[in-house]
């Protein structure tokens, strides 16, 4: 059928955009993704998942850890306890005033607000950047010189934030670097951004592990 005819028919039956319909359509892509990655190790919780990544995939080497979506700092605390090397470096990015736009259901604009309070750490390997990723990441990357394998932890939730981060980091990533997602389950959020990034940049990437929620991957890790 000609694409113009398809458009006319679709507009006749559905004149307004529906996130619900979009989510249903993309859920099918999410399910197909699971069937294409049945051979990866699956863990019951993220702590076991991270231990596997650091000890079995990264082999305990020093890392440059970049986290997008710090909130109260619990993830960074786990990773500094995993990677004790003085040569590891940890960078966290967050507004600390919550999400800049609506995500879904009860997670609307300003969800995960810490009232601007930045978590405190005694570890001098950690550096935090306050503000929108769009306002902080560019300046950081201008002065960034990678010393180690890069591990990117994306807990941005939003499609726009996730896609911006991956597109911005793309020139700096190398073979062997790891991308991991905290909310990969949402077909309109991190999952959609990951797929669009891979298609747009023609990225050769392989899934290496994950955590499932039901039959879908809630958390997922990939190696370049």
Instruction: Give per-residue pLDDT as tens, 161-192.
Output: 999 999 999 999 999 999 999 999 888 899 99
Quick one: which H or E segment has residue 128?
Answer: strand 126-130
pLDDT in tens, 110-169: 778 888 899 999 999 999 999 999 999 999 999 999 889 999 999 998 999 999 999 999
Q: Which CATH superfamily is domain 3-223 in?
A: Vaccinia Virus protein VP39 (3.40.50.150)
Query: What is the reported pTM?
Result: 0.89
Parse the chain into domains and list their residue ranges. 3-223
What sign does the dihedral 218-221-121-137 (CA atoms) show? Answer: negative
Query: Cα-Cα-Cα-Cα dihedral of 142, 183, 121, 164, to 10°?
Result: 10
């Amino acid at each position: 059928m000609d694409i113009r005819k398809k458009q006319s028919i679709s507009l006749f039956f559905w004149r307004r955009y529906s996130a619900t319909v979009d989510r249903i359509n993309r859920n099918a892509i999410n399910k197909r993704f699971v069937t294409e990655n049945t051979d990866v190790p699956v863990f019951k919780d993220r702590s076991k998942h991270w231990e596997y990544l650091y000890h079995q995939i990264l082999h305990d080497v020093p890392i440059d850890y970049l986290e997008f979506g710090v909130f109260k700092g619990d993830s960074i605390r786990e990773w500094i306890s995993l990677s004790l090397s003085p040569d590891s470096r940890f960078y966290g990015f967050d507004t600390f005033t919550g999400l800049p736009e609506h995500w879904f259901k009860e997670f609307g604009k300003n969800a995960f607000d810490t009232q601007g309070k930045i978590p405190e750490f005694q570890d001098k390997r950690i550096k935090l950047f306050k503000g929108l990723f769009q306002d902080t990441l560019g300046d950081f990357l201008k002065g960034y010189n990678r010393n180690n394998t890069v591990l990117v932890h994306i807990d941005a939730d939003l499609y726009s934030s996730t896609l911006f981060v991956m597109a911005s980091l793309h020139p700096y990533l190398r073979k062997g670097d790891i991308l991991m997602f905290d909310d990969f389950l949402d077909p309109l959020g991190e999952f959609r951004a990951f797929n669009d990034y891979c298609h747009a940049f023609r990225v050769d990437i392989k899934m290496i592990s994950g955590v499932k929620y039901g039959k879908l991957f809630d958390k997922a890790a990939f190696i370049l």
